[in-house]
Amino acid sequence: MSRTTPRRRSRGALAVTLAAASLLISACGGSTGSKDPAVQAPVKPGQKVDLRFWSWVPGVDKAVDKWNATHPDIHVKLEKIPAGSSGGYAKMRAALKSGNAPDLAQVEYQEIPSFLLENGLVNLSRYGADKDRSKFVDWQWQQGVFDSAVYAIPQASGPMGLFYRSDLFKKWGITPPATWDEFAQAAQKIHSADPKAYISTFPAGNSAWFTALAWQAGAKWFGVNGDTWSVNIDSSQTLKVAAFWDKLRSKGVIKTEPDFANGWYKDLQTGAITSWVSAQWGDAIISGNAPQTAGKWAVAPMPQWTKGSNASANWGGSSTAVLKGAKHIPEALKFAEWLNTDPTSVDLLLQGGYGWPAAADAYKGSSLDKPSKFFGDQKYNEVFAQADKSIDNSWKWIPTIDATYQHLNDGFQAALAGKGTFVSAVQQAQKQTVEDLKRKGLKVSTGK
Amino acid sequence: MPTRAPRRRRDLVPVAFVAPFLLLFLLTFALPIGYAVYQSVMDVEHTGALGLGGSHTVFVGLRNYSDALSDHAFVRSIGRVLLFAAVQVPVMVALSAGLALLLDSASARGVRFFRAAFFLPYGVPGVIASILWGFLYVPGVSPLVDGMRHLGLSVDLLGGNTVLWSIANIVTWEFAGYNVLVLVAQLRTIPAELYEAARIDGASAWMTVRHVKLPLLRPALILTTVFTIIGTLQLFAEPLVLKPVSSSIDSAYTPNLSAYNEAFTNDNYHLAAAEAVLLALAAFALSFGFLRLINKRGGDA
C-alpha cells in the first residue's frame, strides 16, 4: 500500500491536497460584510450578454438551447456539473469562495439556507422577482423566501406516492396499502408468499427519504424565529416513523440494502423489491433501470397514518438560484423565470424527467397528463397531482442540513450493524444538529 | 557527513543548486502544511440566523482540535485505521516478502510473467479497483457471493464486521505487487558470492533465506513497512467508493473521509484542517516510532 511514487502519492494525498486547496481559496474570502453591492442595472437593448449556468438536471440542455435560439441577446452557456450531493455543491462553494462563481446554479430546496449562510445567493427581491410569485406553486416559492426576500426561483419538486408491482400484488392477493398499518401487513404477506421478496428496503444511507416520511407524518423539524433556529427532529411524529421501520426491520420483512445501488436495481428488476414509497421522479428511475418490467407497475397514494386522510410529502425539489458575483443579475433572473415557467421550457424539462413542475398549473395538458404504458396504462401522474396539493407547506430547512442527513445516515447504519435503533438514531441526530448549528455560531432552541 | 569544510563564499554554489528544490519544497509542502495549521486555529462566525448579517474569521486557539478529539466518530475512525494497520501491515509485508522470495528462488519459473502479473493491479487506479471489487462484494450481482451461497456459505462482505477486511483485501490486491517489486529489486542487489559461500557451507534453501536473504532484505522491508503504515492511515478512496453499496461505512469511517466530509459537505474547513493536522501527526508518530523501534533493536537500517 505504499503510496509514495509521485503518481500514487498524488492520489493518496488527494484529500489533503483538496483540503489545502480549498483552504487557500477560503482564505481569500476572509471577512464578508453584510452590505449588498449596488443594484445592477439591466444592459441596454441590443447589448450582448453571456451567462454561465451550472446544472445537472436531465433535459435542461434542450431548454437552454431553446432559450439561446429565441433570445439572441442573452446567451446562456450551460455547464453540466455532478448532481449536488455527488460533488456539485462542493464545486459551487469552492467557486463562490474563489470569486469565480457562475451566474446561475442548480440549488435544491434544502440547500438554500446553507448557501445563504455562506453568503452565496443574490437577493432577487431587489431585482423585482416578487412579481413572478403568482406563476409558481406557493409553497415551492416560499422555499426560496427568507426574511421576506426572494433568493431562488423554484424549478421542480417531488410529491410522493407508492410505486408497486401490480402483477405481484394481484398474484398474492394484496391490495395497495392505504395506511401504514396495512403496509406492515402487506410486508408480512409478501415476505411469506415469497421468502426472496420484500415490500421495500429501508435505505439507511439515504435519510432524505426518511425525512420525507417524517414530513408526511406531520413532523416539523426546523423553524426560525427572529435569529434563533428551532430544531425538533425528535418529535413524537418522527419517532413514530422510526419505530415503525424499527419494527419491520426486527421482523425481517423489509430489506435494508442501500437504494440507488447495484443490488437495489437488480432487486427492482427481479421483483425482490415489490414497492417503493417515492417521489414522482421515481418513475424515471424504475422505467430506466428495470425496463423489462414494463406494464407491471402501478402507482397508489402514499400510505396514511390515519385512515382516510391524504397527507403527502415532498422528496427532492430544486431551484435556479443566482449566485453572488453574477455579472448580469437582471438577465440571469429573466432566464431563471423563463426556464421554469415558459410552457415550451417546462415541457422540454418534463421530457428530460426533471421532476414535478414548480410552475403553477403546469400539469394539466402537459406530457405528464397522459396514460403511461410502463405503468399499465394508468394515468399515474394524477396520483402525484393530488399529492402535490396535500404537502404540508410549512416545512423549513436549516443551513446545516447535510450534516443532519449524515448524522441520521450514520445512526441508521449503526442500527443495522446492531448498535442502537432507528429511534435512538433520531434522538442522537437531534442533539448533534443542535451542536452543528451552534458550531456555526448560530442561536438554537429545541422548542421544548 | 562527519566533517564539514570551513565556510567560504564559494559554498553559495551548492545553495544555488538546491534552491529549486527548496523553493518547490516550500511551495508544495511547507506552505500548505503551515496554512493548514493556521486554518486549524481559526473559525468562521456568522451574524443573524441565516448569516445575512455577514461573517468573519476569528482566532479560536485549539478549539477545533478539542472539537475533533471530542467527536466520537472521528476518534473511532482513528481507532479503526489503527486496528486496520495492526492487521494490514504484517499481512502486507509478509505476503510481499513471501512472493518476492518465491520469485527470487532458484527454481522459480516465468519470473518475468509473474512479476508483471503481481504488479499489474498497481496500474489500476484505486477508485477503479474499488468499483471492481465493489461489484464482487454486492450480493445478487457478485458471482463470488452467489457462488459461495451455492456452497452453503452465506457471507455478507459488506457487513459491519466484515467490510473493513473487504477493504483490506482491495488494498492488498492493489499494493502488494508494488511492494514485491521493491523487495525483488533489493534481492537483486545481493551479490551472488554470498549465495555461493552459503552453498559451500552446506546451507539449505531455507537457511539461505533465513540467514542471507532476509537480513539483507531488511532495509527494503523497513521501507515497505513505513509506506504501508502511512498509506493505511490515509485510507480514503476505497471506503469512499464502497460507501454507496455498504450500509456499514459511515461518513467518518476513516480520518481522511471525516476531514473530507467536514470540508466539502459541512463547510467546516477549519475543523477539517484540524483533523488533517491530527492525522499527519499520527502518521508522523507511528512511522518514526516504528523506525526508532527498529533502530533500537540493533543494526542500522
Tell me the pLDDT tens digit for each residue of A227-236: 889 999 999 9
pLDDT at A45: 79
Output phi, psi for A314, to 5 deg. Answer: -115, 135
Per-residue pLDDT at A47 exceeds 80: yes
3-state SS class at A118: coil
The CA distances from residue B173 to A136, A159, B223, in Å, are 55, 45, 19
3-state helix, strand, coil in chain A (%, to 5): 45, 20, 35
pLDDT classification of A34: cutoffs 50, 70, 90? very low
Per-residue pLDDT at A25 exceeds 60: no
pLDDT at B245: 85
pLDDT at B9: 64
Residue A367 contacts residue A144 (beta carbons within 8 Å): no
Q: Which of B135, B227, B268 sits opposite A439 (nearest CB)?
A: B268
Cβ of B49 and A413 within 8 Å? no
pLDDT classification of B2: cutoffs 50, 70, 90? low
Cβ of B250 and A409 within 8 Å? yes
Average pLDDT of the residues in B215-223: 92
Residues 242-261 of B with CB under 8 A from A: 243-252, 256-257, 259-261
Residue A141 contacts residue A426 (beta carbons within 8 Å): no
pLDDT classification of A39: cutoffs 50, 70, 90? confident
Per-residue pLDDT at A112 exceeds 80: yes
A100 bridge partner residues: none
Q: What is the pLDDT of residues B52-101, one digit of tens each?
A: 777 788 899 999 999 999 988 899 999 999 999 999 999 999 999 999 99
Percentage, residues of chain A above pLDDT 90: 68
Total H helices, total E strands in chain A = 17, 14
pLDDT classification of A27: cutoffs 50, 70, 90? very low
Kindly report the nearest CA distance between residue A211 and chain B, in angstroms: 18
Residues 154-193 of B with CB under 8 A from A: 159-161, 171-172, 174-175, 178-179, 182
CA distance A160 to A302: 7
Per-residue pLDDT at A31 exceeds 50: no
From A235, A266, A250, A237, select the one nearest A184 (Cα to Cα): A250
Kindly report the nearest CA distance between residue A433 and chain B, in angstroms: 12
Cβ of B141 and A93 within 8 Å? no
Residue B238 contacts residue B167 (beta carbons within 8 Å): yes
pLDDT classification of A131: cutoffs 50, 70, 90? very high
pLDDT at A447: 62
From B68, B47, B50, B70, select the one nearest B268 (Cα to Cα): B68
pLDDT classification of A1: cutoffs 50, 70, 90? very low
pLDDT classification of B7: cutoffs 50, 70, 90? low
Per-residue pLDDT at B285 exceeds 60: yes
Residues 6+ apart with CB under 8 A from A387: A159, A160, A161, A280, A301, A302, A312
pLDDT at A28: 40
- Of the ranges A250-259, A341-350, A398-407, B10-19, which one carries the lowest mean pLDDT score? B10-19
Residues 6+ apart with CB under 8 A from A136: A153, A154, A340, A341, A358, A359, A360
Kindly report the nearest CA distance between residue B153 and chain A, in angstroms: 17
pLDDT at A178: 96
Q: What is the pLDDT of residues A51-82, one digit of tens each?
A: 999 999 988 999 999 999 999 999 999 999 98
pLDDT at A200: 97
Kindly report the nearest CA distance between residue B240 and chain A, in angstroms: 11
Is residue B196 within 8 angstroms of chain A, CB to CB? no
Residue B106 has what DSSP assignment?
Answer: T
Average pLDDT of the residues in A18-42: 52
CA distance B277 to A3: 19
What's the ipTM?
A: 0.75
From B269, B294, B217, B78, select the one nearest A25 (Cα to Cα): B269
Q: How crowded is residue A443: how many other Cβ atoms within 10 Å of its Cβ?
A: 15
Average pLDDT of the residues in A266-276: 95
Q: What is the pLDDT of residues A307-330, one digit of tens each?
A: 999 999 999 899 999 999 999 999
Cβ of B269 and A4 within 8 Å? no
Average pLDDT of the residues in B200-223: 90
Q: What value does the mean pLDDT of chain A take?
A: 88
Percentage, residues of chain A above pLDDT 70: 91
pLDDT classification of B298: cutoffs 50, 70, 90? low
Q: What value does the mean pLDDT of chain B take?
A: 88
Residues 34-53 of B with CB under 8 A from A: 35-36, 39, 44-53
Q: What is the pLDDT of residues A341-385, one digit of tens each?
A: 999 999 999 888 888 999 988 888 888 889 999 999 999 999 999
Q: What is the pLDDT of residues B120-167, one digit of tens each?
A: 999 999 999 999 999 999 887 888 888 888 888 888 898 888 999 999
Cβ of B52 and A13 within 8 Å? no
Q: Which three cell numbers stand for residue A235?
A: 418529535
SS3 string, B160-188, reads CCCHHHHHHHHHHHHHHHHHHHHHHHHHH
pLDDT classification of A36: cutoffs 50, 70, 90? low
